[in-house]
Structure 1
Amino acid sequence: MTIVHGVVFDCADAAALAAFWKDALGWEYRTRRPEEGWVSLQPPGGPAAGFISFGAVPEGKVVKNRVHLDIRPSEGVAWEEERARLEALGATTLQHFEDAHDIMADPEGNEFCLLNPRWY
């Protein structure tokens, strides 16, 4: 059997994009080598759920992601409140689907979905 070890985002600025996702998810740094263009995050207390890494690459994003993250607000946090918090961190809402989910983009344009916990 194969086990997913982590997910890696290609990006222009690994430190900046990792900082956005660190604040968005409430995760902590696992590996920080921004001078080498590499930063990893893990859930608080360890990588029980895997980890997310950010690696700097010279080419920019050209087309829509083929893979994206689906995230949802923490227990007790309203969907609309979480959308506003993510936008304050630098995310952009690309599409809003009433009562279902939002398609959003991180500061480098990588799409992700913010799910409404009433439906998912």
Structure 2
Amino acid sequence: MIRHGARILLALVLLVAGAAHLSTLRRGFRIVVPDWAARVLHTDKDTIVVVSGVVEILLGAGLVLLPRESRRMGAAVAAFFVAVFPGNVHQWQRGTSAPGLDTDGRRLARLFLQPVLVAWALWSTRSAR
């Protein structure tokens, strides 16, 4: 029961974050995308923000709508959190402010939050034994 609630809460976090990437905080998130990411992906920063927002929404929805695929969804969410981590490191190194991450302390704390999010995704989607 606790895992189920944690999974639903994680889905809500992803849905809200994804919606923010597509609307009110879109510009602020573009600032955080490293220049190298746009070069490597052969696209622009806005596209990266939009795609990551869509992915967050799909992952959040999948956590709720695909309970039989819970483990796979958890692995996908964890992989997403790992994939965006280099951007978080870049933001901390550069001291770039973004919505809610406007101090060095907050940017550093965000780095330590990332492994917690990965663990949350994996733990909340695994079957209780």
Which structure is higher in helix share?
Answer: 2
Higher relative contact order (CA 8 A, sep 6+): 2
Q: Tell me the TM-score normalized by structure 2.
A: 0.32
Q: Tell me the TM-score normalized by structure 1.
A: 0.33
